[in-house]
Chain A
């Protein structure tokens, strides 16, 4: 059986397509740089792909709110294609700006009906500025998220100015928590696993003062996953800021690669079932 095909979106200020492609290819997929307009114009069909990735960047310069304009392009031009994609059990990931896109187009945290109406947002960090720093994530082991299976913690970089996850409906927040949709949280690296908490952790453990320390969420099916930090930026061990202090490190793919391998494996299984 061939390798799963990944559509890695590009264009309009998406910046992280190169390393996202690298991460998927290292995980055993074939990844294609896919300009949004090639899908909109019908030159390429989303249904021909097995995985959809919306990488990080500054689509449309983040003007009018991060992810808003690209989210609208997808929401108004590719709505049914995206719904059909998720309905056929194909995984979708949005990283950083891509996460903002998925939240603003209503795909995340999402609902069972795939109604694509916005219920949460990612707003300006409390520190009021963009920062690049490494954080520690902890993943909910009871989450349905297919991307984070078997992963307890990861060190990854955040690089954003608008990553504070908020909503206007606290009942929804409880519902998402209960269903395991608040799958990735910032956590104190000195604590022991599992120890994620809802109490907002101090800066810079939480780089943005996100509600309940949320760094990433999935939809009710666990197929659609979005997160502010950049696992693709840590595809190889030498990209960690700590590798020069580690003794007897064996260089190669990093621990963050598990996220991409999980999706590739899911796609293989999904194809077998289909």
Chain B
């Protein structure tokens, strides 16, 4: 790409363009922190050539403003008189500073036409406040001004760091002619409305496939033939002729609507497929008619006979549990992987604000009260070759982090829990899991149960919030395909948390006023999905696309129907309530437009300006998609054994320090601290705990009702490494990790519910995926584990999601993620004042290990670490095996001890095993620990020091107990696996001995420095 020819520019702006640019003043005690942050994020070879950097924010304004008015706006709106200076002729933006100096080089960056520009929208609102009678249109820019040491700057590389070409354009401003090269106002090309096309499906199979491929419909031949077949039916043709529709062919509106509804993203075809499963390990073959029904719904249904708190599972936007007599909680987790690969900031931000809408769209509307985020990235220090078109993992990491931070913080929802996992195979597609917890009253003031939707035929359909644009078209079908260099930029969007926040405030007020009968969000598939889904409740709906407010004119009918433009809810309102609903919308400055009515016609009817452009029977829309027929075949992989060094004081001690430095284990505090984890004042156990608030917490505890000690626990489990040996073990381990973490803070085990979020590589065998049968077998085994473990733990899944195409194909190279399950847990806490944290509390407390330790180092963090430095070593085969019955009994006994306030600290053993867990408990207080593991070693013949210290056997928790309580605690735990290890000490060291010999001795401060050093950007 030639940097000089990047954009088409006009030499001069039109007279109605005003350019306000705002520059931070530098003087004693003031810095340009935006510039400082930029420099610290640039690679050293670039930063080294830059002598100084300043930044300015620009506003390109279309409107009729006199110079006096422009100065008024610049003084009172755009700039801060105390700390900033401005120009109104573009000169600062072009690098001509008010003191007469010029930058050596200025790079101006602005959004492409049609991209959400939040700063500009705020500016338009602000101009409306000071000039209520003037219309205006604003575009924002940012200018980076550089003074260089060295002319040989890698300009192209610098520019790459300053913008994302998918969303933004830039201009290089240097030399003399500067303002003439400023970025023009990003006008959208005017689009002329085109009538819906008629798609002739009376064609051969090859042509059917071509129609699907060319249209990005992501429908396979069998599905295309089902659609073809529907239009050949006589009844179809008869009813279509009555509506003046093409009788034997769909319109593009109808085909798009079916493609969205039948997309893998929306209809979970793989989880509903009939699978013939061959297990070559035990020589059996079986048929599974829907993994979802067999292994997810069935156990939850069985558990629902044992518990009375499951209010709404699987069918709504999130699962709902009866948390107290007056309040229910709901939870949902989503992924936003493909968009985050293309635009990490926007993709992640729309991920978090999108899942917030799932909560708002649950029942009659719940209030989002907590976010959780789990990310899987390529290693931040990745130095291998990177296929062209992919961002470096560190850029994805920081972009995703910024997006989630902006989305969560600006929405006023605390981010209370999360995790980050690193693996080479996430380079192609990162996984960005965003979860949200919601709170709603069990009953509304009008007596209705708030988890039950109550629409009736005749209710008005309102679209509320943002407008519809050409952004976000084909997100659902796009995420049902692999990522390629040709992936469409229209699938990427930037969220607008403030529009959403206004809508959220308004919706909750409308809910409490009893105005809402039915509500759902507009996410994947847009109106097509939201109205299409709700139409199932009354048996029909009619909408008119001509009523839908648009961001730009000229959108085609099908584009309006399927656009995934953000920040929109679809709401059903009784006709009598519409005035009050619209009044509330005006008060909150939220757009709410009636676009249709619910009916019982049996059809989803789509009109455009009163002309029918689509008519699809509700049953065909929702049940017409043919079931996939798939085959899976399980062959246990062969992995070479782990080559363990001789266990010595030195090798074991060094290993602990090294493992604490590894990104998977290392402290993420620097990143987590920039999330607001305390807004709305309910977070009782925060992400970081201990004396200096920098030791890792196990699970979040919240107390959402002011003044009440009833709480909720939120935790996560994720261990994709174990899939390299067996996805059954991976799944069992993820569930146990979530439960174990919750147990550590004192969850009430009689009310725990789960969410399963699968992110898989494409598991359908094809030319592109020759190993599809094995990948599908991994999915089968994962589901079998979910079924077994959830039943044993009385842990019903209440909601879940799957993302099944996590592959990237770039320049012919395919990178697939390891099969990954995120298991999220929400549970009750009976008394949050008895919550327990992971940090040791005082010297001379007794330390115990609960749970059995075996020589289970297969696919452990240790195994991966050894393999990285020793080519002859593999990751082994001894992946941890879960014994859920034994564990749950132990967990209940521990929970009982916590209720009796006998436990001073509890921390689970996961990545890196017992030694890492012990170190982390020491990080939260001022002392150390002295323990003896002889008893553990004696418990299992095969166990050696590596296994005892670094093995990852499941179901294990390290607790500390005051000397006074020790005897009673031991008595209470009788019959369970409990090992008395030693005691906490005032000396700042960890000393581990076995059979009279010291086998590990480390200084706690050195360990902590190692643990904090890797990912802390401040270090």
Contacts and interface: CB of A to CB of B under 8 A. Distances in A.
A128 B55 CA distance: 13
Interface string A125-148: 111111111100000000000000
Contacts of B673: 131-133
Interface stretch (B652-660, B678-686, B788-796, B878-886): B678-686
A205 interface: no
5 contacts: A13-B501, A64-B78, A133-B673, A235-B706, A239-B683
Interface in B5-39: 24, 29-31, 33-34, 36-37
B412 interface: yes
Contacts of B688: 241
A128 B690 CA distance: 26
B835 interface: yes
Contacts of A76: 129-130
B366 interface: no
Interface string B659-685: 000000000000001111111111111
Chain B CB count within 10 A is highest, among A22, A64, A235, for A64
B691 A245 contact: yes
A65 interface: yes
Contacts of A159: 676, 678-679
A24 B677 CA distance: 22
A244 B839 CA distance: 9
Contact of A19 (B36, B81, B685, B706): B706
Interface string A67-110: 01100110011000000000000000000000000001000000
B588 A35 contact: yes
A171 interface: no
B170 to A, nearest CB: 21
Contacts of A123: 24, 30, 80, 83
A37 B77 contact: no
A130 B674 contact: yes
Nearest to B123: A64
Interface in B790-841: 832-833, 835-837, 839, 841
B679 A22 contact: no
A13 B119 contact: no
Interface string B101-129: 00000000000000000110111011001
B676 A234 contact: no
Given A129-B37, A131-B673, A132-B677, A120 B82 contact: yes
B693 interface: yes
Contacts of A125: 33
B497 interface: yes
Contacts of A255: none
Given A58-B410, A123-B24, 16 more contacts: A12-B502, A15-B411, A15-B412, A37-B588, A58-B497, A119-B82, A121-B82, A133-B673, A133-B693, A166-B30, A211-B29, A233-B678, A233-B679, A235-B706, A236-B681, A251-B709
Nearest to A124: B33
A128 B34 contact: yes
A202 interface: no
Given A11-B588, A61-B498, A76-B130, A118 B681 contact: no
Given A63-B119, A65-B80, A232-B681, A132 B675 contact: yes
Nearest to B40: A128
A159 B414 CA distance: 11
Interface residues of A, number: 65
A64 B119 contact: yes
A23 to B, nearest CB: 8
B409 interface: yes
Dominant SS among interface residues on chain A? mixed
Contact of B833 (A16, A35, A134, A251): A251
Contact of B678 (A41, A104, A124, A157): A157
A239 B680 CA distance: 11
Contact of B841 (A41, A77, A128, A245): A245
A244 B689 contact: yes
A68 B80 contact: yes
Contacts of A13: 410, 412, 497-498, 501-502
B675 A239 contact: no
Contacts of B505: 10-11, 35
Contact of A132 (B29, B31, B676, B681): B676
B126 A37 contact: no
A38 B703 CA distance: 31
Chain A CB count within 10 A is highest, among B24, B29, B681, for B681
B34 A12 contact: no
A124 B588 CA distance: 29
Contacts of A49: none
Given A72-B77, A245-B841, A238 B122 contact: no
A177 interface: no
Interface in A40-69: 41, 56-58, 60-65, 68-69
B681 A235 contact: yes
Nearest to A134: B693
Interface in B497-512: 497-498, 501-502, 505
Given A120-B82, A238-B832, A251-B833, A132 B130 contact: no
B846 interface: no
A18 interface: yes
Given A12-B498, A13-B501, A129-B37, A69 B678 contact: no
Contact of A124 (B34, B78, B123): B34
A262 interface: no
A241 B689 contact: yes
B195 interface: no
B267 interface: no
Interface in B986-1016: none
A241 B680 contact: no
B676 A126 contact: no
Contact of A244 (B123, B678, B835): B835
A132 B412 CA distance: 13
B55 to A, nearest CB: 11
B31 A26 contact: no
Chain B CB count within 10 A is highest, among A132, A157, A239, for A132
Interface in B59-110: 76-78, 80-83
Given A35-B587, A124-B33, A133-B693, A61 B497 contact: yes
A61 B685 contact: no
Contacts of A130: 405, 409, 674, 676
A11 B412 CA distance: 12
B105 to A, nearest CB: 22
Closest 10 CB pairs of A and B: A15-B412, A63-B122, A19-B681, A121-B82, A128-B37, A128-B33, A22-B706, A58-B410, A124-B33, A63-B119
Interface in A142-196: 157, 159, 166-168
B447 interface: no
B707 interface: yes
A238 B684 contact: yes
Contacts of A126: 31, 33
Contact of A236 (B80, B677, B691, B707): B707
B591 to A, nearest CB: 15
Contacts of B925: 245
Nearest to A251: B833
Interface in B829-866: 832-833, 835-837, 839, 841
Contacts of B83: 121, 123, 166, 168
A133 B405 CA distance: 15
B130 A72 contact: yes
A110 B689 CA distance: 39
Given A63-B123, A159-B676, A232-B681, A72 B129 contact: yes
B589 interface: yes
B531 to A, nearest CB: 29
Contacts of A26: 706-707
Nearest to A56: B679
Nearest to B413: A15
Given A35-B588, A64-B77, A121-B83, A16 B680 contact: yes
Interface in B686-708: 686, 688-691, 693, 703, 706-707
